[in-house]
Amino acid sequence: MADGGGEERRPPKKNLQGLLQMAIEAGTDSDNADQMGQMSEERRQWLQAAMGNAFAGQVDEVQQIKECIEELTKSTIDEDGEERKEQALQLLADLCENLDNASDFCKLGGMHLLLSRYLNCSKGELRWRAADLVGICSQNIPYVQQIALSLGAVNKLLQLLDLDENEAVRVKALFAISCLVREQDAGLDEFVKQDGFSVLMRAMQSNVLKLKVKSAFLLQNLLLSHPEHKETLCSMGMVQQLVSLLHTEHSPFHEHVLSALCSLVTDFPQGVTECRSPELAFEGFLKERSTQIQKEEEFQEELEYCQRLLKLCFRNGTEDRNMDR
The pLDDT, as a whole number, for residue 276 is: 97
Distance separating the N- and C-terminal Cα atoms of the chain: 91
- Show the CA angle centred on residue 302, arms to residues 298 and 306, nearest 5°: 145
- Tell me the Ramachandran region of residue 304: left when phi exceeds 0, alpha when psi lies from -120 to 50, beta otherwise: alpha
For the chain, count helices (H), then strands (E): 20, 0
The pLDDT, as a whole number, for residue 16 is: 47
> How many other CB atoms are there within 10 angstroms of residue 222's CB atom?
23
pLDDT tens-digit readout, 67-90? 999 999 987 666 678 899 999 999
pLDDT band at 101 (very low <50, low <70, confident <90, very high): very high
The pLDDT, as a whole number, for residue 33 is: 43
How many Å apart are CA 88 and CA 73, to the nearest integer? 11
The pLDDT, as a whole number, for residue 80 is: 76
* pTM above threshold 0.85: no
What average pLDDT does range 206-218 have in this prediction?
A: 95
Topology (CATH level 3) of domain 84-194:
Leucine-rich Repeat Variant (1.25.10)
How many Å apart are CA 50 and CA 5, to the nearest integer? 33
The pLDDT, as a whole number, for residue 75 is: 78
Does the pLDDT of residue 13 top 50, yes or no? no
114 versus 5: the higher-pLDDT residue is 114
pLDDT tens-digit readout, 113-130? 999 999 999 999 999 999
pLDDT band at 60 (very low <50, low <70, confident <90, very high): confident
pLDDT tens-digit readout, 174-191? 999 999 999 899 999 999
Does the pLDDT of residue 294 top 70, yes or no? yes
CATH class of 196-205+213-314: mainly alpha
Helix (H, G, I), strand (E, B) or coil at 206: coil
- Show the CA angle centred on residue 67, arms to residues 64 and 73, nearest 5°: 140
Domain-by-domain residue ranges, the chain? Answer: 84-194, 196-205+213-314
Cβ proximity of 280 and 240 under 8 Å: yes
How many Å apart are CA 314 and CA 282, to the nearest integer? 9
* Of residues 214, 204, 211, 272, the one with CA closest to residue 242: 204
Percent of the chain past pLDDT 70, that is, above it, reads 78
What average pLDDT does range 216-229 have in this prediction?
A: 95
Cβ proximity of 93 and 136 under 8 Å: yes
Q: What is the mean pLDDT of the chain?
A: 85
How many Å apart are CA 20 and CA 261, to the nearest integer? 56
How many Å apart are CA 124 and CA 160, to the nearest integer? 11
Q: Do domains 84-194 and 196-205+213-314 have the same CATH topology?
A: yes
